[in-house]
Amino acid sequence: MQNIIELKNVAKHFSDHQVLFNINLEVKNGEFLTLLGPSGCGKTTVLRLLSGFETPSNGTIIIDGKDVAGLPPHLRHVNTVFQSYALFPHMDVFENVAFGLRCKHLSQDEIEQRVAEALRMVKLEAYGHRKPQQLSGGQQQRVAIARAVVNKPLVLLLDEPLSSLDYRLRKTMQIELKQLQNQLGITFIFVTHDQEEALSMSDRVVVMHDGTMEQIGTPREVYEEPCNLSVAKFIGEANIFDTKILAADNKTLQVEIENKLFILKNRKKFTVDQTVHVLVRPEDLQVWSPQEVTDTQDMFAATVEQVIYKGCTVDLMLRLLSGKQLLATQFFNEDDEKLDYSTGENVWVNWIPGWEVILPHDA
């Protein structure tokens, strides 16, 4: 697959404030790429650089093999679905969707046919004569999508398009957007601060933080093998143990966690005396009541502080003897149907060996 978009050493600053540092990114044709990060991390600026509303202070942006420096937004073959939808309030749904086609001076017949097709795609064929204000949030969202895709852009940019919808509608739209992307085969660049959304929809996720790209990878890679602590903390919940490596060879390393010695796999060539963070996801923690276990050699004693029932799972806030707090997520399954925990209860905690992630300490 060829690259539809390439960013080479792109940087951006507004007056004296640097918002993007040295961004290098290649997006393949037909890919669903998500820029994920907290607000202010520069993800929206990347979109605005691609759509032409901002110009990079440094570096090159290539769209479809051409350097787009100096090309204004209306001449770029990309379209945006804006966060606030930005539908034109004085035009009905049909005219909103037709706007881009009218700019291209297409014939009335072709415009009507393509708008009808786009509205059918977003299931709004009966709403052509409504004004945007007469539509619900979800319907407005669909119009915004139809208005962009009707132009058959090379790349569709989506700036937190689902953030103002309620939870259930957001879930539905996530699935619909993904289907739409498969159907159209257009490259989607999707911006969100919702990590769940990013993981469930994307082919690849770019995790951004303070104007830099921390990690690029498949959803599975960024979740299971975060490259540093800020990625690990941003994507999903994590229990983090700070420790030092006592001994290490090519295959294993030895660390002390909560006064217990652990021998773990040395996947990243750590050396003795290095400060590291051992990261365990809440769902990888196992919680046992005292009568269930006999060998507590590799387990931590803990007290249940809080039980949060979430329907399909139960989240437990645990306090270790050292005072450290852990979060453990327990699933209901055939082994453990009851999951009956009460606050103040004493339990044993461990994790499935090998499921931990060891990260170096960032200076």
- Which positions lie near another protein, rule CB under 8 A? 51, 53, 72-75, 79-80, 82, 84, 86-90, 99-100, 103-104, 131, 133-134, 147-148, 151
- In whole angstroms, how close is the CB of 147 to another protein at the nearest point? 7
Q: Which of 236, 218, 82, 96 is nearest to 163 (CA)?
A: 82
Q: Which of 65, 69, 50, 130 is nearest to 96 (CA)?
A: 130
Which of the 8 DSSP states describes residue 139?
Answer: H
- Identity of the residue, 1 or 75, whose beta carbon is nearer to another protein in the bound complex: 75
- Identity of the residue, 48 or 233, whose beta carbon is nearer to another protein in the bound complex: 48
- In whole angstroms, how close is the CB of 78 to another protein at the nearest point? 8
Encode burial over 192-229: b for 16+ CB neighbours within 10 A, e otherwise: bbbbebbbebbbbbbbbbebebbbbbebeebbebbbbb
- Identity of the residue, 89 or 185, whose beta carbon is nearer to another protein in the bound complex: 89
- Identity of the residue, 86 or 116, whose beta carbon is nearer to another protein in the bound complex: 86
**One-character DSSP codes across 350-362:** EE-TT--EEEEPP
Say how far apart CA 339 and CA 345 lie, in whole Å.
13
- In whole angstroms, how close is the CB of 266 to another protein at the nearest point? 50
In sequence order, the 6+-apart residues with CB closer than 8 A to the CB of 264 are: 252, 253, 254, 255, 278, 353, 354, 356, 358
Say how far apart CA 100 and CA 150 lie, in whole Å.
8
- Identity of the residue, 146 or 248, whose beta carbon is nearer to another protein in the bound complex: 146
Query: Whole-angstrom distance between the N-terminal and C-terminal Cα of the chain?
Result: 38
Where does the chain have alpha helices with state H? Answer: 43-51, 93-103, 108-121, 137-149, 167-184, 195-201, 219-224, 229-234
Q: Which of 237, 273, 263 is nearest to 360 (CA)?
A: 273
- In whole angstroms, how close is the CB of 129 to another protein at the nearest point? 11
- Identity of the residue, 87 or 316, whose beta carbon is nearer to another protein in the bound complex: 87
**One-character DSSP codes across 183-198:** HH--EEEEEES-HHHH
Contact 33, 190 (CB under 8 A): yes
- In whole angstroms, how close is the CB of 154 to another protein at the nearest point? 13
Say how far apart CA 143 and CA 146 lie, in whole Å.
5
- In whole angstroms, how close is the CB of 172 to another protein at the nearest point? 24
- Identity of the residue, 30 or 73, whose beta carbon is nearer to another protein in the bound complex: 73
- Tokens describing residue 273: 């005396």
- In whole angstroms, how close is the CB of 282 to another protein at the nearest point? 39
- In whole angstroms, how close is the CB of 77 to another protein at the nearest point? 9
- Identity of the residue, 75 or 312, whose beta carbon is nearer to another protein in the bound complex: 75
Map residue 290 onto helix, strand or coil: helix
- In whole angstroms, how close is the CB of 144 to another protein at the nearest point? 9
- Identity of the residue, 53 or 332, whose beta carbon is nearer to another protein in the bound complex: 53
